[in-house]
Chain A
Amino acid sequence: MSINKNLLIPLTAFVLLVIVLAFGFRLEDPHYLPSELINRPFPEFSLQDLHDPDRTLTVADIKGKVSLVNVWATWCPNCLVEHPELIRISQEEGIALYGVNYNDVSSKAIAWLERHGNPYRLNMVDSSGTLAIDLGVYGAPETFVLDEQGVIQYRHVGAVTRRVWKSKILPVVELLQTQSGDG
């Protein structure tokens, strides 16, 4: 019994369709945007210090060591979720954590940090979101890992939970620290 070759055409077409759709509809978060900024230097900025309005912070203030930059705001519920973990990181992990206070009111931000604790070494006031736009931020919180040259090596969108820290951010930080020899 010979197989009719014409019957193979719809079967092949079906298999091809399944393959294409499997790639197209992978179960991933459709809100996730891949970052264009990985391996690019942290953008230049000139922003007010949250706690010292007379002081202007620039990219030179956060460069030099492997560090974390966290984009946060008081209006952002997930920022409150990740806050205890950020405090733990700043106390236990010995890595510099800088804050970008994004589209916020400074008085509210200061009060919020007094209430929930302040894990940040420095906080930039980005009240019009210009640094956030340069960082390609599309929501808060977002966390960037910088190497000692100030080049962005990793970006996490969403709350930094214990699990995210352990499985995603810490490995990058450790790799960078061993590369630079200060870990």
Chain B
Amino acid sequence: MVRIAFLFLLVFSVESYAAIDAYPFPNDELRLRHIALIDELRCPQCLNTNLAGSDSMIAKDLRREVHRLLLEGKTDDEILDYMYQRYGDFILYKPRLQGGTLVLWFGPVFLLLLAFAVLFRLLRGSKALETELSEADSRRLEQLVKRK
């Protein structure tokens, strides 16, 4: 009796687990693309979770939608575009290259170059200071040392 109950539980739990999110795919390529896409798309309801990691209703619906679009033969770009047209910048974890996101893409590079420029100037400045000091003040320095 216990064994049967155990067996029942085992079968039932597997079944219910599978029912959460088991999309049939005709091949592994589509399955992997599905995984990659729901990993890259952000859940619109949540602040920082992707579609794969969220349990919210909208994330479930969108996972199903990605599955449907994949089976329809849509490319990854078409699917990302489909989501973008409905949910905008928010849904893409990798923001697109456009007016508003230029700073996001090139800001860091610009800051790095700026940092190098500042570092370069500082280094040159300190060198110039060093040589100037040794030329102009060396005699005075010697006198001071001698006096003592």
Interface residues of B in 89-104 (CB under 8 A from A): 90
Given known pairs A103-B57, A128-B61, the reply for A139 and B88 (CB within 8 Å) is no
Chain B residues contacting A34 (CB-CB under 8 Å) are: 88
Chain A residue at minimal CB-CB distance from B91? A33
Which residues from A are CB-within-8-Å of B47?
Answer: 30-31
B61 CB contact (under 8 Å) in A33, A103, A136? A103
Of the four ranges (under 10, 10 to 19, 20 to 34, 35 or more), the interface on chain B belongs to 10 to 19
Contact of B44 among A30, A33, A128, A134 (CB under 8 A): A33
Q: Looking at chain A, what size class is its interface with the partner chain? A: 10 to 19
Specify which chain B residues have a CB less than 8 angstroms from the CB of A129 in the assembled complex. Answer: 57-58, 61
Complex alpha-carbon distance, A107 and B71, angstroms: 32
**Does B62 interact with chain A (Cβ within 8 Å)?**
yes
9 residue pairs of the A-B complex, CB under 8 angstroms, read: A33-B90, A36-B87, A37-B86, A128-B64, A129-B57, A129-B61, A134-B86, A137-B58, A139-B45
- Taking A36-B84, A139-B58 as known contacts, 6 extra A-B pairs with beta carbons closer than 8 A to each other, sorted by chain A number, are A33-B87, A36-B86, A37-B86, A136-B44, A136-B87, A136-B88
Residues of chain A whose beta carbon lies under 8 Å from any beta carbon of chain B = 30-31, 33-37, 103, 128-130, 132-139
